[in-house]
Amino acid sequence: MPRPVKCRKVCHFPNVLEFLPADDTEKKMPIVLTVDEYETIRLLDKKGYSQEQCAESMKIA
């Protein structure tokens, strides 16, 4: 039986979830981020949090 989904605290919802390479000469599949992934990157890069601080902020393990 799978574990129940835990609620996550996300402070900023992204406007765009799909990203494409800047050089679009080759048609490639877009990179799609989940809201959790986006929030983690935002906290790490923009806020300068550690992984432990991110987990605490998002209320996850």
Report the alpha-carbon distance of residue 60 to residue 43 in Å, rounded. 14
Taking residues 11-40, what's their average pLDDT?
78
pTM: 0.65
Whether residue 24 has pLDDT greater than 70: no
Q: Note the pLDDT of residue 18.
A: 78
* Distance of alpha carbon 1 from the chain centroid: 26
Neighbouring CB atoms inside 10 A of 58's CB total 19
Residue 38: both structure tokens together: 């986006």
Residues contacting residue 29 through CB under 8 Å, at least 6 positions apart:
none
Report the alpha-carbon distance of residue 49 to residue 42 in Å, rounded. 9
Mean pLDDT of the chain: 81
